[in-house]
Chains A and B, each alone.
Chain A
Amino acid sequence: MGSNAAEHHPISFKWVLQAKDKGATVMHVDPKFSRTSARSDFHVPLRSGTDIAFLGGMIKYILDNELFFKEYVVEYTNASLIVGKDYGFEDGLFSGYDAKTRSYDKSKWGFELDADGVPKRDKSLKHPRCVYQLMKKHYSRYGIDAVSSTTGVSAENLLKVYKEFAATGRADKAGTIMYALGWTQHTVGVQNIRSAGIIQLLLGNIGVAGGGINALRGEPNVQGSTDHTLLYHIIPGYMAMPNNEWQTYDDYVKANTPVSNDPMSANWWQHKPKYFASLLKAWFGENATPENGFCYEYLPKIEKGEDYSYMYLFDRMYENKIRGGIIIGLNPMNSVPNSNKVRKALDNLDWLVTSELHHSETTDNWKRPGVDPKTVKTEVFLLPSAHRLEKEGSVTNSGRWLLWHYKAIEPAFEAKPFGDMFVGFMKRVQELYRKEGGTLPEAVLKLDYPDRYDPEELCAKINGRFTKDTVVKGKKYRKGQLVPSFTALADDGSTSSLNWLYAGSYTEEDGNKAKRRSTSQTPMQANIGLFPKWAWCWPVNRRILYNRASVDLNGKPYNPEKAVIEWKDGKWVGDVPDGGWPPMATGKGRYPFIMSKHGFGQIYGPGRQDGPFSEHYEPVETPVARNMFSKQLNSPVYKYVSSEMDKLSAPADPNYPIVLTTYSLTEHWCGGGETRNIPNLLEAEPQLYVEMSPELAEEKGIANGDGVIVESVRGRVEAIAMVTVRMRPLRVHGRIIHEIGMPFCFGWTTPGTGDATNRLTPSVGDPNTTIPEYKACCVNVRKADRLTELAT
């Protein structure tokens, strides 16, 4: 659900089919019947943007029929915790809502604490304010009729999925959910995933073999680029970006280090100061000392509550507030919503550095169709980049495995790796500051920045080093030697590490573990397909997160046939456990969900911007005028920008009655800048198409293969009609609603293939992530009189 694995992660589907061979039922819930649906046991079409209604119905089904895994729910999730009296939910809004700021006061959602500051619990789950009871009440509104009418899924199909999936709530069964951008790209994206998290916690499917909610990360190294953080709001290792309220190192540490008073909670983030200090040591080297707060003062501080993601960046660029920047290996002129606006916004830059394998809609934006280059002021630098085969280094896969790729050939022509480019201009910027001085030169000059790009050396620096002679567990390490694990990191300046999660990946003892290629495993590991000696996995080579939730209080696997870990003869065997503490029943154990403050799986999630439980809201552009579940039509806290080009169509606007969803496809990657230039892939998927049902095509007088115009309130796009029974009309709110789908990988720099689908999509985003709502907006479609963007 929320993914099309066979098309977008084709090799992952190899393993889905093997599970199917062994008797697993594979269900695909998705607006479009795709290649994934073709190989699933069955496909259930639903309207884009109604996943929470669908999943809320499943939560209700599980609770009503008591199909949840009781011991797991009571012991390992926060179902038994008592929520404070301030929590409330009425007519689509949680308590603490401020309409003016469109935000919640999350302090209203806190747990009730005892005298020691530990959350109160009722393991009988009867207390009216325990999470279990609040959840039951919250989802009681998600009856089959309302869900069916909202999603367009028949009652029969709903029950078929609910029954099949809820059957995994037994100790000897596991169920997994594979999701991807089909869930994230909504104004309720995070809550889509939270809904799945609630279901999987209820069914005891987290931490077990064959369980989990699997984020199928879309891009080549997007796990690594997130861990190492090409993002504004965090710094490497998932720590918050400093903001203006944390003026000093001490302010930062105090505000960001959670405290738990429960001796049973590991509260792993209590170690954050060690990771943060080590990161600053790695950034500023000798210049960072405990006395100067490890150079914290030089770091930029974002304005608290401000959003610096690309949606806002392009809005500010459009408003002429941005002077210049760098775009590498990304084609936002195709892949960012409301392309007409972002293409115009880019013209406002004074300078732009780009780096690519090929010309793209971004590098060549200044000469896009309809624009006279002589009117565009931007100075553009285009640097030819090296391909994966032309450089070495590490990447991290969707399962957090750190993998080394070797250099096979020299970069073609004059291409260089991105790493060489950063070093190339940063060394010169440092040189200029050294020579000329300038504004706050210390922040630049005090950086311990490499003189040349050496991935092997940087991999070691990411792992981390001792900055003075140290003894760890009786073993002596000299200054400059590699730290063996993140447990060796310290907050006194004696260690450095560019990313604590990767500490242990490159050690004195075993070298660069990304290069390990052994398939050896114990029979217990082989039984569930773990390969602990192939490469390395963060954290500490643990392959299945929260694996202590797979065993009972005595450390015995709930499912001995598929054991992940087991307490045997006084120690854990199998996978690397989530902390080495003995089983809970000994009294010396720790709750298994060590990364959450209280140690529990969070059925109730008080940290999110849009509520502790998920709630169905319509997409910002919706074909219906009301929400079956409350008076609140859209998310009360979704993000948006509001230039004159950011138009939105009204709910149920008769001019735009059709739902559009957008997607990628097997043969092209993201904005298509790379794959369109691979002739064999372009041969297989040559042009922009729009998939629509025969019913809609007939209504609009469109035949398969016709050129059509798809229009939203923001723009129009030419496409070729692909009339297919794989798109089904859906019965929603008692009438037929049509949905169409388009890929977004085609662009004008590959002539005749079509141009940006994202000219149609809106700049509205999830309140937690600001990921835009690419998956649902409203459009109309008609037959084209003539085509200019597509070769005929």
Chain B
Amino acid sequence: MPKSFLIDTSRCTACRGCQIACKEWHELPANKTTQYGWGSHQNPQDLNANNYKLVRFSEHLEDGVVRWNFFPDQCRHCVEPPCRDMADMVQEGAIVRDDKTGAVLFTEKTAMFSPEQFEEVRQACPYNIPRRNDATGMMHKCTMCNERIHGGMLPACVKVCPTGTMQFGERDEMLQLARTRLKRLKRDWPNAMLADPEDVNVIYLLTDKPENYHEYSVASNTFGPMSKKQFFAALARPFRAMKA
């Protein structure tokens, strides 16, 4: 049974401990960022090869009440990762899954991908996660801190989280916790939902409509009427056929 995260956005204060802890553990260099033409606390503006984790800020006014939603974005470590299936067509083993933890991992072999091939992998991801380092050609995203997990530690972002937003454990435990939390939150937040819990190992609990967090907060958001199951199945089909 793989591991899973529960990210309970109802508790997030956007302290960004997770965003920074991720950078510190992986020793990723800082990007040059700016407020000019941007004007937001969400910095850097997007995930990139040096930011595997990004707290997204989204605000709106609803009947005179301010809603400010925080979304600690990262790779969902899909149960059936479409990025891997796509990558396998170019180079087997470039993207792998650690069956023990469920971590989906970009390896050094991703450097063999052309920018166009990378773009195909990125587009295969329903959450718009993969990023490329143009200097090295390698692809980057959250590693689930896989080595920490094997070492008996929590992922850096989970360990650092003060509020209980970031939870990590066995998949069934996390699913159970997610359902319990959801039930409780439904009382005050009728829109509360779990984002694609069957398909991913990083399960977001949202209290507001998904589009009020981020364009790619849930897979179905991007892909119209198709159900999430259908969507994942559709993505996987051609690759499987090819491999066969």
Contacts and interface: CB of A to CB of B under 8 A. Distances in A.
Contacts of B40: 704, 722
B68 interface: yes
Interface of chain B: mostly helix, strand, loop or mixed = loop
Interface of chain A: mostly helix, strand, loop or mixed = mixed
Contact of A33 (B24, B36, B66, B69): B66
A726 to B, nearest CB: 6
A721 B39 contact: yes
A638 B69 CA distance: 41
A684 B54 CA distance: 10
A17 B17 CA distance: 16
A43 B39 CA distance: 23
A18 B30 CA distance: 33
Nearest to A678: B30
B15 A6 contact: yes
Interface string A655-671: 00000000000110000
Given A6-B13, A724-B59, A683 B36 contact: no
Contacts of A17: 11, 163-164
B224 interface: no
A14 interface: yes
B174 to A, nearest CB: 19
Interface size class of B (residues with CB under 8 A): 35 or more
A35 interface: yes
B16 A667 contact: yes
Listed residue (A36, A706, A725) with the most chain B CB atoms within 10 angstroms of its CB: A725
B127 interface: no
A739 to B, nearest CB: 15
Given A683-B31, A686-B34, A37 B15 contact: no
B39 A705 contact: yes
A791 B24 contact: no
A283 to B, nearest CB: 41
Contact of A790 (B14, B30, B36): B36
Contact of B34 (A723, A726, A792): A792
B14 A680 contact: no
Interface string A65-84: 00000000000000000000
B41 interface: yes
Contacts of A726: 59, 66, 68
Interface in B1-42: 11-17, 19-20, 23-24, 29-41
A37 B35 contact: no
Contact of B39 (A13, A666, A720, A728): A720
A18 to B, nearest CB: 8
A666 B16 contact: yes
B61 interface: yes
Contact of B30 (A680, A723, A792): A680
B2 to A, nearest CB: 28
Given A13-B163, A680-B24, A684-B20, A37 B68 contact: yes
A462 to B, nearest CB: 31
Contacts of A680: 20, 23-24, 30
B232 interface: no
Given A10-B162, A13-B162, A687 B59 contact: no
Nearest to B13: A6
Contacts of B43: 683-686
Contacts of B169: none
Contacts of A687: 34-36
A526 interface: no
Given A705-B37, A725-B66, A683 B44 contact: yes
B204 interface: no
B70 interface: yes
A707 interface: yes
Interface in A697-741: 704-707, 720-726, 728
Contacts of B36: 687, 705, 707, 720, 787, 790-792
B183 interface: no
A11 B13 CA distance: 10
Nearest to B15: A10
B67 to A, nearest CB: 8
Interface string A1-40: 0000011001101100100000000000000010111110
A705 B30 contact: no
Interface string A675-697: 00001111111111100000000
Given A11-B162, A687-B34, A722 B61 contact: no
Contacts of B11: 17, 39
Contacts of B65: 42
A706 B38 CA distance: 8
Nearest to B60: A725
A307 to B, nearest CB: 38
A10 B13 contact: yes
Nearest to A707: B36
Interface in A95-109: none
Contacts of A707: 36
A684 to B, nearest CB: 5
Given A705-B37, A722-B40, A683 B30 contact: yes
A705 B16 CA distance: 22
A682 B36 CA distance: 14
Interface in A757-792: 787, 790-792
Nearest to B38: A705
A43 B68 CA distance: 12
Interface in B153-203: 162-164
Listed residue (A7, A724, A728) with the most chain B CB atoms within 10 angstroms of its CB: A724
B20 A681 contact: yes
A42 B68 CA distance: 12
Contacts of A706: 39
Contacts of B164: 14, 17
B51 to A, nearest CB: 8
A7 B43 CA distance: 16
A705 to B, nearest CB: 4
B59 A725 contact: yes
B13 A722 contact: no
Contacts of B38: 704-705, 720
Contacts of B34: 686-687, 791-792
Given A6-B13, A680-B24, A725-B66, A705 B162 contact: no
A264 B38 CA distance: 64
B66 A679 contact: no
Contacts of B66: 33, 37, 43, 725-726, 728
A724 B61 CA distance: 10
A679 B29 contact: yes
B59 A686 contact: no
Contact of A35 (B15, B19, B44): B15
A145 to B, nearest CB: 21
Given A689-B35, A705-B37, A14 B163 contact: yes
A384 B35 CA distance: 32
B61 A705 contact: no
A632 B229 CA distance: 69
Contact of B61 (A36, A39, A681, A725): A725
Contact of A723 (B14, B39, B41, B162): B39
Q: A-B pairs with the 9 shortest C-beta distances?
A: A679-B30, A720-B35, A705-B39, A683-B30, A10-B15, A704-B39, A705-B37, A38-B68, A6-B13
Given A720-B39, A723-B39, 18 more contacts: A7-B13, A13-B163, A17-B164, A35-B15, A37-B68, A679-B30, A680-B20, A682-B33, A683-B30, A683-B31, A683-B32, A684-B16, A684-B33, A685-B41, A685-B43, A689-B39, A720-B36, A726-B68
20 contacts: A7-B13, A10-B162, A11-B162, A37-B66, A38-B67, A667-B16, A682-B30, A683-B30, A684-B16, A684-B19, A685-B43, A687-B36, A704-B40, A705-B37, A720-B35, A722-B40, A725-B66, A726-B59, A726-B66, A790-B35
